[in-house]
Amino acid sequence: MPEVFTEENKNYYIKENSRGEAGAGAQFTDDEVIEMRKRYVKESAKNIYNDYKDRISFQSLQ
């Protein structure tokens, strides 16, 4: 079995996971995340979730 925890792999995934909307697993754009955070000040998570429920689970949104 090949070694998967090499320094090269660790560095690659650290960079990939911190790329915001350019990351491979991104569900939202940077602008959408900022808007959600602004809304969360005055709205409940469930209310915000209703606008995005086709793209993510409620647990993930929380």
pLDDT tens digits for 34-51?
A: 999 999 999 999 999 999
pLDDT value, residue 5: 78
pLDDT value, residue 26: 80
Residue labelled with tokens 């809304």: 39
Domain definitions of the chain by residue range = 28-62
Give the model confidence (pLDDT) of 15-41 as tens digits: 766 677 777 678 888 899 999 999 999
pLDDT value, residue 50: 95
54-to-3, 4, 27, 47, 60 alpha-carbon distances in Å: 37, 34, 11, 14, 12
